[in-house]
Chain A
């Protein structure tokens, strides 16, 4: 069975500070990994994805994530947070072995203080 754990329910960060959101996954084969962002009242927007190759992937809005197979992790980072980054962030895992279905973590809410 596939699953995702996001250990942090809520993170508060100061504007301009760095941000790291944790994601741990369980998947029996080669995983495809995603980070989505959801602003209040909005749908989900894809931030970045990992399919294969370079384990450090770059996404939109200055975000990056690093795939670590040995730790079953796919943590999201941003060097300097902007007030507009306040949102909820979801990590997801899926792949061919499960008919391309995605499993999502419970999400991490990010609050940005001035």
Chain B
């Protein structure tokens, strides 16, 4: 158990509203990641962080922003949600010594109506 929680686990929202998803880890790992999972696409990286206030874009970052003010929390924000952002969102962390090996949280299912 990598000690990763995500909140909320399920959310339904309307187009145009802001949404923030939270990823919390208890292990003080430096690297954290946000992915989205869609049928036929596997997991695609949205943003990642390599330390407090150090973040970078992944392959599908448009429409998303992130923040990391504490080691344990990595927030993903949809400034104005669109129906194309309906997806399952996963947070992941990397462990020290094997930075490429990632462990995943339980996921957040987001529906944008």
Contacts and interface: CB of A to CB of B under 8 A. Distances in A.
Interface residues of B, number: 24
Interface residue SS majority, chain B: strand
B74 interface: no
Contacts of B22: none
Interface in A52-99: 90, 92, 94-96, 99
Interface in A97-114: 99-107
Contacts of B42: 4, 6, 90, 104-107
Contact of A46 (B33, B44, B56, B103): B103
Contacts of B44: 104
Interface residues of A, number: 27
Given A104-B43, A107-B42, A43 B100 contact: no
Given A49-B101, A106-B42, 14 more contacts: A43-B104, A43-B106, A44-B90, A45-B104, A96-B100, A99-B50, A100-B100, A101-B45, A102-B43, A102-B45, A104-B43, A104-B44, A106-B40, A107-B42
In the A-B complex, the 5 residue pairs with the smallest Cβ-Cβ separation, listed nearest first, are A104-B42, A44-B104, A104-B43, A100-B99, A100-B100
Interface of A: 4, 6, 9, 32, 34, 36, 42-46, 49, 51, 90, 92, 94-96, 99-107
